[in-house]
A and B are shown apart, each in its own frame.
Chain A
Amino acid sequence: MFLKKNNFSSTEEITGWGLYPRFNVLKKNPKNIDELTEAAKTPSLIARGNGRSYGDSSINKVNTIDMKNFNRFLHFDESEGLLVAEAGVLLKDVIDTFLPRGWFPSVTPGTKYVTIGGMVAANVHGKNHKNSGSFGNYVHWIEIINIDGEIVRCSRNENSDLFFWTLGGMGLTGIILNVAFFLKSVKTAWIKETTLVAKNISEAFRFFEDNLNSPYSVAWIDCYTKGKSLGRSLVMLGEHAKINEIDFKNKSNPLKSPKKRRISIPFYFPPFILTKFNVRIFNFFYFLNGRIGRRTKLVEWDTFFYPLDKISNWNKIYGKKGFAQFQCVIPLTNSKKAITELLNCISNSKSFSFLAVLKRFGTETSYFSFPMEGYSLALDFPINSNNLLLMKVLDEITVKYGGRFYLAKDSRIKKNIFEKSDNRISEFRKYRQNKIQKKFSSIQSDRLNL
């Protein structure tokens, strides 16, 4: 029972959030800048944050550099909400620290357990992309360890090429070290949430387009419905509540959030728990709840933005083999047609997916980020041969309608499909060719030859 240091190998099995695929890799955990620059001397490497990308984006077989020790706030300017943080700082820490002072992230993904470096690398989007764009829009500057091991600062005015390729560049332009970004001012920790029940996908689209002014919007789609009720969904709209809108008892401390416990899943769910039947029952109650619940209510920020974070390792519910998330965005003109076709394809297959998430995106703002104006659909599939085949079909449909894929979620797309989906790839390759391409690479970038 007592331990001996394993001197022979320091390899470690790591995966993305999807627990698929798994790799044995050499990982380094530099503690300070000297150790980091030393670790960055190997010919091939990738930086890794909290491992919340789903696939192989943050994994390099010979040198995966864990940035979690770089987790300090370096500066905060109260007058304009400008925060300078090391790349390994978790978004959760940003919220815990600054929400009580009236600041909230301008853009947030669906989990608060991401690092700021990861948010830059994937140029993450949130439920407010249609009006507010990606996280990169609020980044003031980035400091990067470049190919020569030097720390370079880049921004819209300084080394702007590096800046715009780094936003959404999946860590393939260098090691993101420090990030300066703007938080936005909020008056309360509460969100005014309105839930609309859409009978089918056309109605869901109508709800989105009718509510473009609502700051946040997202739809949860039941993937089992067919025919007329295909795409039955709950469309959730939200906005930050003002002081006069919140309950009396919270008014004395409008920025305080109630303490909640996180549930954790102690083991991998065996396959019989997530069957089509059980998921159907879950969805039935979920929608019943949406229908009978109050249409407009106040919810605290955690429930609205991070419902899944309540279960600390929900990725285990898909079992030991893991899961993959399919996420695409379809240009606005084709959105309805393409997403109807995707949903049809899913509901007719033998596969099952819990819930699909539909979001409206606004215009594209950086060189290589995922979003474009249109609609984005995301769903999880447990790994098995049927589902992998189904996702291939979904890939084809996406490409047919001019859509593209989210690298932060991808663990399995084929190179030729990816090339067809994104014509910016050749520019990115040109930027990275020769030196950078060899130095900064992940298993994903090798797979897709980025």
Chain B
Amino acid sequence: MRKNVLLVLGASSDIGMSVAKKFAQEGFDIQLAGRNSYNLENHCTDLGIRYKVNANFYELDALDFNSHEKFVRSLPILPNVVVSCIGLLGDQSESELKIKKNVTVIRTNFEGVVSLFSIFANYFIDRGNGTLIGISSVAGDRGRASNYIYGSAKAGLNAFLSGLRNRLFSYGVNVLTVKPGYVTTKMTSGLKLPKALTTNPEKVAYCIYKAYKNKKDVLYVLPIWKFIMIFIILIPESIFKKMQL
């Protein structure tokens, strides 16, 4: 039997690497896509040695939309599972000053993923199976002063994934939205994260694999985040706007 294949978009991220490792451990062949080829080629070698799977690197720029169709066609095997770890946190204070940077945050987190997932969705419909996994964020559940640029892009992504799930369900294609909460990664290094609300990339990867196996729709990696976000969503706007969150 041919091995299942996982494609990681934005593979140089810590979550991306951990997901690749977890799936490789479960016997998947791995395709890593992203910028920063030096790192990723070594990662492929590492995955090959560690888990005795085939792992290859493919160059991808999430913001170069015109190249996406070509990128997907260039893959030697259409993957069974695609996970997008494309993400850019940006710096909110900087974002307020530099509108151009805001646009990059939005385009990376939202448009990049939309473009790639839309292409894969069509291929998966043709094949009649497949799973799309989007790493989104709890920040997308409600816009807050501290990071609403990133948050709004993730909110868009949440809506997109939800709609895509709705559309693809009848074709046998699954879509999983992942909201990790705080994770100790390169993206959050330098931030002081509260311990009880923070998890690590390995845990995220483990939960993603489990959710994939169980064909879940939305995954909060730490259940406590689900309650926090429900609470935050329930606060009336007239009060919410006065809070410094």
Contact = CB atoms under 8 A, between A and B. Distances in A.
Contacts of B91: 5
B96 interface: no
Contacts of B146: 2-4
Interface stretch (B101-109, B117-125, B157-165, B184-192): B184-192
Given A2-B144, A5-B191, A6-B192, A31 B46 contact: no
A10 B190 contact: yes
Dominant SS at the B interface?
A: loop
Interface in B79-134: 91-93
A37 to B, nearest CB: 12
Dominant SS at the A interface?
A: loop
A64 to B, nearest CB: 14
A10 B191 CA distance: 9
Contacts of B182: 3
B238 to A, nearest CB: 20
B245 to A, nearest CB: 5
A73 B45 CA distance: 7
Interface residues on A, range: 20 to 34
Contact of A32 (B38, B46, B245): B38
Interface in A1-54: 1-7, 10, 29, 31-34
B48 to A, nearest CB: 9
B8 to A, nearest CB: 15
A7 B42 CA distance: 32
Contacts of A438: none
Nearest to B244: A2
A32 B45 contact: no
Contacts of B190: 5-6, 10
B46 A74 contact: yes
B49 interface: yes
B38 A33 contact: yes
B144 A31 contact: no
B45 A74 contact: yes
A76 interface: yes
Contacts of A31: 12, 39, 186
Contact of B245 (A2, A7, A75, A97): A2
Contacts of B189: 29
Contacts of A74: 42, 45-46, 49
Contact of B36 (A5, A32, A69): A32
A2 B147 contact: yes
Contacts of B38: 32-34
A33 B40 CA distance: 12
Interface residues of B, number: 25
Residue among A33, A72, A74 with most chain B CB within 10 A? A72
Contacts of B43: 72
B193 interface: yes
B76 interface: no
Interface string A74-87: 11100000000010
Contacts of B39: 31-32
A143 to B, nearest CB: 13
Contacts of B210: none
B78 to A, nearest CB: 27
Interface in A49-63: none
Given A31-B39, A32-B38, A3 B46 contact: no
B45 A72 contact: yes
A5 B46 CA distance: 33
A3 B144 CA distance: 11
Contacts of B236: none
Interface in A65-108: 69, 72-76, 86, 93, 97
Contacts of B12: 31
A69 B185 CA distance: 11
B82 to A, nearest CB: 23
Contacts of A34: 38
Contacts of A69: 186
A93 B49 CA distance: 12
Given A31-B186, A72-B43, A3 B193 contact: yes
B39 to A, nearest CB: 5
Contact of A73 (B49, B147, B194): B49
B183 to A, nearest CB: 12
A72 B46 contact: yes
Nearest to A89: B46
Nearest to A101: B52
Contacts of B45: 72-75
A73 B46 contact: yes
B215 interface: no
Contacts of B192: 3, 6
Given A3-B191, A5-B191, A75 B144 contact: no
A348 to B, nearest CB: 42
B167 interface: no
Residue among A2, A6, A32, A93 with most chain B CB within 10 A? A2
A86 B45 CA distance: 12
B32 to A, nearest CB: 12
A2 to B, nearest CB: 4
Contacts of A10: 190
B3 interface: no
B216 interface: no
A23 to B, nearest CB: 18
Given A31-B39, A32-B39, A74-B45, 19 more contacts: A1-B194, A3-B146, A3-B192, A4-B146, A5-B191, A6-B191, A6-B192, A31-B12, A32-B36, A34-B38, A69-B186, A72-B42, A72-B45, A73-B46, A73-B49, A74-B42, A74-B46, A75-B45, A97-B49
20 contacts: A1-B194, A2-B144, A3-B193, A4-B93, A4-B146, A5-B91, A7-B93, A10-B190, A29-B189, A31-B186, A32-B38, A34-B38, A69-B186, A72-B42, A73-B45, A73-B49, A73-B50, A74-B42, A74-B45, A76-B49
